[in-house]
């Protein structure tokens, strides 16, 4: 059941990136600074759900090929650590401080992704969760329900 929940959260995270890119200038500026071909992998465990995102032709796309190279790889040491982060029980900065995942790639590039992730989470999670896991909660420019609808329909 936990793996299914993690898979759903990763799906919504990817879709959230695509939606928030269109409505939030900070996320748009960060992603626009990534070069075409820039890839990110989030690996929850060896057999667990994963997310592979790549910027292609100015857009974010989800990659199915697990062998594809990525500039940034976030590899969780165990699935339970990934689950805590994905379900909003722990923020990425705390998970990093507690050495719950390995980071492969340039830390400055990873920080760009983390800044985007924090903003996307502030749109996807209710404020009660974001206040607990984020250092700074970004003010939403669009109602959370509009974001949810756009994430679900893929717009």
Confidence at 137, pLDDT banded by 50, 70, 90:
low
The more confident residue out of 26 and 142 is: 26
The more confident residue out of 41 and 91 is: 41
Residue 148 pLDDT? 80
The model carries a pTM of 0.82
Class (C level, CATH) for 2-153: alpha beta
Residue 155 pLDDT? 64
The model's pLDDT over 33-49, given as tens digits with 9 standing for 90+, comes to 999 999 999 999 888 89
Instruction: Kindly provide the b/e burial profile for residues 41-52, where b requires at least 16 CB atoms within 10 angstroms of the residue's own CB.
Output: bbbbbeebbbbb
Tokens representing 90 are 């722990």
Nearest Cα neighbor of 126 from 155, 87, 74 is 87
């Amino acid at each position: 059941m936990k793996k299914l929940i993690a898979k759903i959260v990763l799906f919504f995270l990817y879709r959230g990136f695509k939606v928030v890119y269109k409505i939030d200038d900070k996320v748009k500026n960060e992603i626009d600074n990534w070069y075409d071909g820039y890839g990110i992998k989030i690996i929850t465990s060896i057999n667990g759900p994963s997310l592979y995102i790549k910027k292609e032709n100015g857009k974010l796309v989800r990659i199915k090929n697990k062998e594809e190279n990525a500039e940034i790889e976030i590899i969780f040491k165990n699935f339970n650590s990934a689950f805590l982060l994905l379900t909003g029980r722990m923020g990425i900065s705390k998970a990093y401080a507690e050495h719950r995942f390995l980071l492969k790639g340039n830390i400055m590039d990873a920080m760009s992704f983390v800044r985007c992730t924090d903003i996307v989470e502030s749109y996807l999670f209710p404020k009660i969760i974001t206040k607990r896991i984020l250092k700074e909660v970004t003010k939403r420019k669009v109602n959370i329900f509009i974001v949810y609808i756009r994430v679900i329909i893929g717009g």
